[in-house]
Chain A
Amino acid sequence: MVRLLVALAVGLVLAGPLHAQAPGAPDAGVPGDAGPDTGEPDATAEEAPPEPSIEPPRILRSPPPAYPDVARGSGEHPTVVLLVTLDDHGVVGEVEVVEPVGSAFESAALAAVRDWGFAPALRDGRPVPARVQVAVHFELPEAPTAPHPHPDPPTDATEPVAVADVEAAGEPVTGDPVDSDTPEESFGAEAEAEAEALRREGRSASAFEVERDVLRATRRREGADLLNSAPGFYVARPAGAAIAHRVTVRGFDAEHGQDVAMEVGGLPINLPSHVHGQGYADLGFLIPEVVDRMNVIEGVHDPRQGDFAVAGSVGFDLGVEERGFRLQTSYGSFRSFRQLATWAPEGGEPGTFGAFQVNRSDGFGSNRRSLAASAIVQVAGDRRHRGWRFRTLGFVNVARADLAGVVRRDDVDAGFVDFLGVYPYPTATQQNASNGRMMIGVFGERRLANGANADLAVFGGVDLFRTQMNFTGFLEESRVLEDVAGRGDLIEQRNRTGTLGLRGSYRSPVARPFDWLSARLELGTQARVDWITQQQNLIDATVRNQTWDNRIDADIFGVDIGVYGDLSMELGSRVDLSVGARADVLLYEVDDRLGNFIEVSRSDTAYLVGYRRSALGVAAGPRASLAVEATDWMTFLGSYGEGFRSPQARILDDGERAPFTKVRSADLGVRFSMDDRLTVTVAGYWTRLSYDVVFEPAEGTLERIAGTRRLGAVAHVVTRPLPWLVAAGSLTYVDAELLEPPPATVEEPNPAFERGQNLPYVPPVVVRLDVAAEGALGKVRDRELRGHIGAGFSYLSPRPLPYGAFADPVALLDASASLEWGPVELGLEVYNLLDDRYAAFELNYVSDWTNGGVPSRIPARHIQAGAPRTVMGTVGLKW
């Protein structure tokens, strides 16, 4: 029989005595429960002879464990037997190791099983809590497998096991009280390792997987808010709906994504050479309920990290664990309304789902009305065709919002404009944004007989973006029209991007040239082409958006071909070393229709406006990581890598060869892992950029500055001390400084510079806490009542601003609570519970909002207000 399942973790079997009893204690005593079963015949047993109909739990989702890196050299292939407690929703509660085999395997098995999905056991057709014994078998990773998402087919648990690897798990494990009335069932399930899981994970101390329970700790307003649970991250949407979130991470003001490579289900989100900022990444389409897990790599060390992975990269895995239909309606403050619908076909795996959401709101304060809708559909094939298995993911979204823009703090203090208000001029009240995006990708993976595997993906999409925003009031003059000025600095930006891309990789079989060495080579490519059209104009909102100046009018064609190699080696049983390299060839062809611009005052020109050019360059660098397992519970991790950020193509000159920001990144840390109950990571990091960019409000774009350096540390803790309790917290500190003076300009021929000068907009300290409790509260009318309560807290220390100013600190507490009773859900969410009046983003620059008063040329603090306390009530129905 062909061993299909010879990956890192392969065979697993649900086996053994299944008993429909309350978890934890036999006398849990839930009123009205058919159980708990105590093993003692009850008084009515003789009067009720018919045995209850028992259906065991079914596996819905069983992503396999990763074969522990530290054990790769050992040649072991043990089976870990676990006793798993499931509630009547099939949610995994307490997990105990029944047969110890060593902590590394046990931890890997525990971590995997906690992520599994089960359909609950049924007694007389009603879901009941249960305990099941699970045998998780490990095989050495000789034959890799497949890509996202979890491709394990949802096998009916009562089907006969037809897997070569189940033998070790076949024996039922006893020792737990077993309901004598419960027929013992043997059943098993097949699970295949994902191709992704075959790569060595956790290469760096700054690589974090944020699991579903932490992501669900408290309700998130939007999918992008999930990022707040990653160490060092802070995201906010200060500009308003329809504009991408601003991301801050580990000393980077990543703007709208310029420093963080983002993928959703494998689809790349960042847009190169976007008019509103390099690497623009709008996660507005992301529906938080369908995010299954978040893989965060901070720093650069993995060869698969490409363009925009400067501060790091984030991957969102999508999946819906709970099958069936779900409708959820929310309504609350500021007439905010949200409708969510998800559909996950019964019997399908979590990777297959459809989801739709619509959000509308009057918005807090003034001029923040918004409407947005998005849909995400993913179909994960459960069959192989000629060795290939495919997954298809697509999403589409539209959004439009009025924007309040910025207000000056001095105007707020003087009472001229409200903190949550908007300036009373059309050039301010007509600020708005709209966007639309569609992407689709097909992901396939194939296993080869020799143990190698390959995957291939193609993707494409279109993105539309338009804003009219005014940051500076009334400072601009027309370059095109003589003596035209002061009509309001309402900047219109338009950007349209079409993208096609492919990626593929091949992972060789494991080679063992020596007893103490095993190695695997991965080769891959990631390529994309983008067609970009962009304009920037000044428009006058008082007269039907008359255009009174042109600033940008360009077409850009960009190609990025990245290739990488990655050699993973296990040296003995406790040392893992990965070395690799990546190179990207980037080509840009720019048709800058306003290049060589002719000033209106010049009449002696002998040429036409326009500047067409092309540039090609190569960005290459090494990547390496080292993991040393000092003990079963402590691993030292170190990594180094060199990455890049592509340029805004319009800044390139003809023939420019290497116009890329070079980033060098190193991490050193230690991870303590006490099974699944406690994981602690402490790491230090260093990042250096050859040059950086900062936001330039006058043009609403990014402007180049000198080289920068970040030095910092992060501590991250995740604990699950009780089956119903999860808590996660992180503290990130960074010293982010400018290494050289900013470039001299006519305005500032000798820019002020002090050694150690802090970078603007970067908070030195970021704190995040997530805590949640979830469990059964009792029974009402024979249906279990479940409750969930959670909270998330973010803190940002004061952020330095340009010209020596500092932004106020931010402290935000969100909380949510919900009840589930049968098909009915009720929820209450409170965002910014303490009603902190805060600036979601703060800037310091020159503006003139006097509209006829004496204009000031001194930089002033401008804020984009954050939302005050927002209360939402939710009613849901699922079936």
Chain B
Amino acid sequence: MPLSVSGTSVADDLPARGDVTVTLERADLVFGPLTFCAGFLAGDNCSTALVEWTDSVVVDTLDPTPVSVGELIGVSGTARSYMYDLGYVSLLVTTEPLELAAAAELDGSSLVLEGVAHIADDRIAWRYSTRFVQPADVERGVPIVRSRRDSGFERTLSDGDPITVRVDPSSWFASASFASLRQDEVCSEPGTTVCGGQVERRCSDGDPIERDCESEGLVCQPDVGCTDRILIEDGSQIGSAIRTAILAGVRPSFEGD
């Protein structure tokens, strides 16, 4: 079965938590491998699959044009569940996950997002990258994302029928609190760098040295100062919210002709 992947045309202002919207400038997601199962429960209960694609690809989730990535291999039948990885495959034979080629393409990441958060009148450019790896002490050897039992997923898979995996990033930011990107701090400890809005403040024993990032087309990131984008950390609320949305939120759609 021919397999394609595509992104989705998304609005310029995607809703985020609070009165914040996000404009995505880049949204690359590594997708694959992908497995369709006959049973309702993917994971450990899918040791024998119907069809699978064992490769990986970087999906530009903002581009709605389907890109052919290869063939799903297997036997015809009714798929009632599916599971997939995002560039890293958990193995039984080792605790270290296997990095696939597409993840290497993204410098070891499964996801690279770049965008602008609109917080009140501020426009804060940000970047977030992460990798999705099955924790070694949780279900080793199974893909990290599985269809939900209550999703009602059912699809007849027949030889030659094409499938397009469409990834839609619109909902990824709904729980992400981008407002936290805007800091309004004053110096309290010498030797640190804080942000007062988009003003960089390098703290010292005397008056802080200030620099208006916005006037230079930059944004202010605590501890960093002026920079072109705020780097969102994995353990941050925004990072966690995005990870949760991708791993447990809205799944891609699997479309036929």
> What is the interface of chain A, defined by CB distance below 8 A to chain B?
474-477, 483, 485-487, 698, 745-750, 752, 803-804, 845-846, 848, 851-859
Are A752 and B80 neighbours in the complex by a CB distance under 8 Å? no
Within the complex, what minimum Cβ distance (angstroms) separates B135 from chain A?
A: 11
Inter-chain CA distance A474–B90, complex, in Å, is 13
- Per the bound structure, the CA–CA distance linking A848 and B75 in Å amounts to 18
Since A476-B92, A746-B45, A845-B48 are in contact, a sample of 18 more A-B pairs with Cβ atoms closer than 8 Å, ordered by chain A residue number, is A474-B92, A474-B93, A477-B141, A486-B94, A745-B39, A746-B39, A747-B37, A748-B39, A749-B38, A750-B38, A750-B78, A803-B75, A804-B75, A855-B91, A856-B52, A857-B48, A858-B74, A859-B75
Note all chain B residues with C-beta closer than 8 A to A476: 92
**Does the CB pair B141–A854 fall under 8 Å?**
no
Select which of A485, A487, A747 is within 8 A of B48 by beta carbon.
A747
B73 proximity list for chain A (CB < 8 A): 858
**Chain B, 75-101, CB within 8 A of any chain A CB:** 75, 77-78, 80, 89, 91-94, 98, 100
Complex Cα spacing A698 to B52, Å: 20
* Contact yes or no, A746 B41, CB < 8 A: yes
Indicate whether B51 reaches chain A with its CB closer than 8 angstroms: yes
A to B CB contacts below 8 Å, 30 in the list: A474-B92, A477-B92, A477-B140, A483-B137, A485-B140, A486-B94, A486-B140, A486-B141, A746-B39, A747-B38, A747-B46, A748-B39, A749-B38, A749-B40, A803-B75, A804-B75, A845-B48, A848-B92, A852-B91, A852-B93, A852-B98, A853-B98, A855-B89, A855-B91, A856-B54, A857-B47, A858-B51, A858-B73, A858-B75, A859-B48
CA A477 to CA B43, docked complex, whole Å? 14
Question: Chain A residues with Cβ under 8 A from B45's Cβ?
Answer: 746-747
- Nearest-Cβ distance from residue A403 to partner chain B, whole angstroms: 22
Nearest to A474 among chain B residues (CB) is B93
Supposing A485-B141, A752-B77, A858-B74 touch, asked if A747 and B51 sit within 8 A by C-beta, the answer is no
A853–B33 Cα gap in the complex (Å)? 12
Taking CB as reference atom, which chain B residue is nearest A477? B92
Number of interface residues of B (CB under 8 A): 32
Question: B112 at interface (Cβ–Cβ under 8 A)?
Answer: no
Q: Which residue of B lies closest to A860 (CB)?
A: B73
Residues of A within 8 A of B80 (CB): 749
B141 touches A748 (CB 8 A): no
Name the residue among B33, B74, B93 with the largest chain A CB count within 10 angstroms.
B93
Contact B39 A749 (CB under 8 A): yes
Contacts of B67 in A (CB 8 A): none
Are B47 and A846 closer than 8 Å at their CB atoms? yes
B192 vs chain A, min Cβ distance (A): 42
Q: How far is the CA of A804 from the CA of B80 in the complex (A)?
A: 20
- The 4 closest A-B CB pairs, nearest first, are A486-B92, A486-B93, A857-B49, A485-B92
Contact B94 A852 (CB under 8 A): yes
Complex contacts, A485 vs chain B, CB 8 Å: 92-93, 140-141
Determine the distance from Cα of A653 to Cα of B33 in the docked complex, in whole angstroms. Answer: 41
Contacts of B47 in A (CB 8 A): 475, 698, 747, 846, 857
The complex places the Cα of A851 from the Cα of B75 at a distance, in Å, of 24
- Return chain A residues, CB-CB under 8 Å to B94: 486, 852
State the CA gap A568–B73 with chains docked (Å).
60
In the assembled complex, which residues on chain B have CB atoms less than 8 Å from the CB atom of A804? 75
A544 to B64, CA, bound (A): 56
Asked whether, in the complex, the Cβ of A854 is within 8 Å of the Cβ of B93, the reply is no
Judged by a CB distance under 8 angstroms, whether B6 is at the interface is no
Question: Which residues in B have their C-beta under 8 angstroms from that of A749?
Answer: 38-40, 80
CB distance from A705 to the nearest CB of B (A): 15
Give every chain B residue within 8 A of A477 (Cβ-Cβ): 92, 140-141
Instruction: Judge whether B35 is part of the interface by a CB distance below 8 angstroms.
Output: yes
Separation of A750 and B100 alpha carbons in the complex (Å): 34
**Bound complex: CA A859 to CA B93 (Å):** 20
CA–CA, A858 and B33, complex, Å: 13
Partner of B92, one of A475, A752, A854, A857: A475
Pick the contact of A851: B93, B136, B137 (CB < 8 A).
B93
B137 cross-chain contacts in A, Cβ below 8 A? 483
Residue of A nearest to B50 (CB): A858
CB–CB A857/B141 < 8 A: no
Closest residue of chain A to B74 (Cβ to Cβ) is A858
Chain A's nearest CB lies how many Å from the CB of B131? Answer: 16
A474–B94 alpha-carbon span in the complex (Å): 11
The reply to whether B52 and A858 form a contact with Cβ atoms under 8 Å apart is yes
Q: A747 and B74 in contact (CB under 8 A), knowing A854-B100, A856-B54, A859-B48? A: no
Known: A858-B74, A859-B48. Contact between A486 and B91, CB under 8 A?
yes
Give CA–CA (A485, B137) in the complex, Å: 11
Closest-by-CB residue of A relative to B48 is: A846
Complex-state Cα separation, A603 to B94, whole angstroms = 26
Residue on A nearest B89 in the bound complex, by CB? A854
Residues from chain A with Cβ under 8 Å of B136 in the complex = 483
> How many Å lie between the Cα of A113 and that of B94 in the bound state?
70
**A845 vs B48: C-alpha distance when bound (angstroms):** 8
Near A by CB (< 8 A), chain B positions 18-76 give 33, 35, 37-41, 45-49, 51-52, 54, 73-75
Task: Return the contact of A747 from the options B33, B39, B54 (Cβ within 8 A).
Answer: B39
Q: How far is the CA of A780 from the CA of B85 in the complex (A)?
A: 79
Shortest distance from the beta carbon of B138 to any chain A beta carbon, whole Å:
10
CA gap between A859 and B47 in the complex, in Å? 10
Cα distance A747–B45 in the bound complex, in angstroms: 5
Considering the complex, give the chain A residue whose CB is closest to the CB of B96. A852
Nearest chain B CB to A786's CB is how many angstroms away? 57
> For residue B51, which residue of chain A has the nearest CB?
A858
Q: Which residues of B contact A855 (CB under 8 A)?
A: 89, 91-92, 141
Within 8 A of A (CB), among B125-163: 136-137, 140-141
Interface centre among B39, B41, B51 (most CB of A within 10 A): B39
Roughly how many angstroms separate A762 CA and B75 CA in the complex, as a whole number?
21
B100: A residues at CB distance < 8 A: 854
Cβ of B88 to closest chain A Cβ, rounded Å: 11
Distance in Å: Cβ of A548 to nearest Cβ of chain B: 12
A745 to B75, CA, bound (A): 18
Contacts of B54 in A (CB 8 A): 854, 856
Instruction: Verify B78–A854 contact, CB threshold 8 A.
Output: no
